[in-house]
């Protein structure tokens, strides 16, 4: 079973067809040969190729496949399972999980394997990212529904989702509230003040800590913070490739000066701290 889709053009229900999906008004969306649906209307695109590029997606996949982010992925799996258990006594349906801005699908596939009885959808605005998701789930023999779509206009029906996961991605409170069931949860994984401090020290002369708990001041009604946890680890990067792949996963990729990038390319080893925050938020309209 998959999440219920809505048409990105007229917002009516989308029904499955042998080669994709279609609404009652006749808007048709073909399934790509890799298996995903593109539900991002052309007129909603701000650029020809929005979101992460192929190069960034490949760097992210290579990095995540090293297992260096296993600690946050495990914390996310455990917390997701707890969130669904807390709601299970009231809702007998198959739990629906949505990974919003899922990138190349590392966390999505892991969540789908950890919580085997759930229906899981991953979407991202980047087509190369979603193509990688299809490859990842095929290789892992994991089931998931993959969509090219934006968090600003999620092509899923109202009141349909038990849990939204947002890992280093954009949050759209209005859209998240629309698709969540009452007492559904959002898990947000983001940077703590000292995340990748040593990498940043290699890039900038003046390194500032990120503001602590910026998200906490932004949570609007009727969302409520249930808990926030600190996740720390030490990353030992043992090749220039791993260091540059990690760089490509961060906003610093865009800000680094060529001279500093050259300096980074000469490094073969870097020990770096992982400092993340995992926020559990409940939707109580």
Ligand X SMILES: C[S@@+](CC[C@H](N)C(=O)[O-])C[C@H]1O[C@@H](n2cnc3c(N)ncnc32)[C@H](O)[C@@H]1O
The binding site for ligand X (CB under 6 A) comprises 51-52, 60, 101-103, 106, 124-126, 129, 150-152, 167-170
Q: In terms of CB distance, is 106 or 176 closer to ligand X?
A: 106
Q: Which does 125 bind (CB under 5 to 8 A by kind): Zn ion, ligand X, none?
A: ligand X
Query: What's the distance, Cα to Cα, between the start and end of the chain in Å?
Result: 26
9 versus 197: smaller Cβ distance to Zn ion: 9
Burial, 225: exposed, middle or buried (Cβ in 10 Å; 0-12, 13-18, 19+)? middle
Nearer to Zn ion among residue 153 and residue 233 (C-beta): 153
Residue 26: exposed, middle, or buried by beta-carbon count in 10 A (0-12, 13-18, 19+)?
A: exposed
Dihedral angle computed from the Cα positions of residues 180, 183, 188 and 193, in that order, rounded to the nearest 10 degrees: 140
Among 2, 9, 153, 191, binds Zn ion (CB under 5 A): 9
Residue 125: CB minimum distance to ligand X, A: 4
Give the shortest CB-158-to-Zn ion separation in angstroms.
16
Minimum distance from residue 50 beta carbon to Zn ion (Å): 21
Residues 12-71 that bind Zn ion (CB under 5 A): 23, 25, 27
Pairing of strands 37-38, 96-100: unpaired
Q: Where are the beta strands (DSSP E) in 111-201?
A: 119-124, 145-148, 161-167, 180-191
Q: In angstroms, what is the minimal distance from the CB of 8 to Zn ion?
A: 8
Nearer of residues 152 and 207 to Zn ion, judged by Cβ: 152
């Amino acid at each position: 079973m998959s999440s219920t889709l809505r048409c990105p053009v007229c917002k009516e229900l989308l029904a499955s067809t042998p080669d994709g999906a279609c609404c009652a008004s006749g808007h048709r969306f073909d399934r790509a040969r890799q298996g995903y649906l593109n539900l991002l209307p052309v007129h909603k695109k701000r650029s020809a190729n929005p979101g992460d590029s192929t190069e960034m997606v490949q760097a992210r996949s290579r990095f995540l496949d090293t297992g260096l982010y296993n600690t946050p992925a495990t914390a996310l799996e455990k917390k997701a399972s707890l969130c669904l258990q807390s709601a299970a006594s009231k809702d007998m349906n198959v739990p629906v999980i949505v990974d919003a801005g899922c990138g190349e699908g590392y966390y999505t596939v892991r969540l789908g394997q950890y919580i085997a009885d759930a229906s899981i959808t991953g979407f991202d605005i980047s087509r190369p990212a979603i193509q990688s998701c299809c490859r990842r789930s095929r290789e892992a023999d994991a089931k998931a529904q993959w969509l090219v779509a934006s968090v600003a206009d999620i092509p899923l029906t109202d009141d349909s989702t038990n849990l939204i996961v947002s890992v280093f991605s954009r949050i759209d409170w209005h859209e998240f509230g629309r698709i969540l069931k009452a007492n559904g949860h959002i898990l947000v994984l983001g940077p703590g003040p000292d995340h990748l401090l040593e990498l940043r020290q290699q890039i900038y002369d003046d390194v500032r800590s990120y503001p602590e708990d910026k998200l906490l001041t932004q949570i609007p009604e009727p969302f409520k913070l249930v808990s926030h946890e600190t996740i720390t680890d030490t990353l030992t990067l043992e090749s220039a490739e791993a260091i540059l792949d990690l760089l490509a996963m961060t906003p610093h990729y865009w800000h680094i000066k060529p001279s500093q990038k050259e300096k980074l390319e000469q490094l073969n080893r870097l020990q770096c701290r992982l400092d993340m925050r995992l926020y559990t938020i409940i939707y109580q309209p």
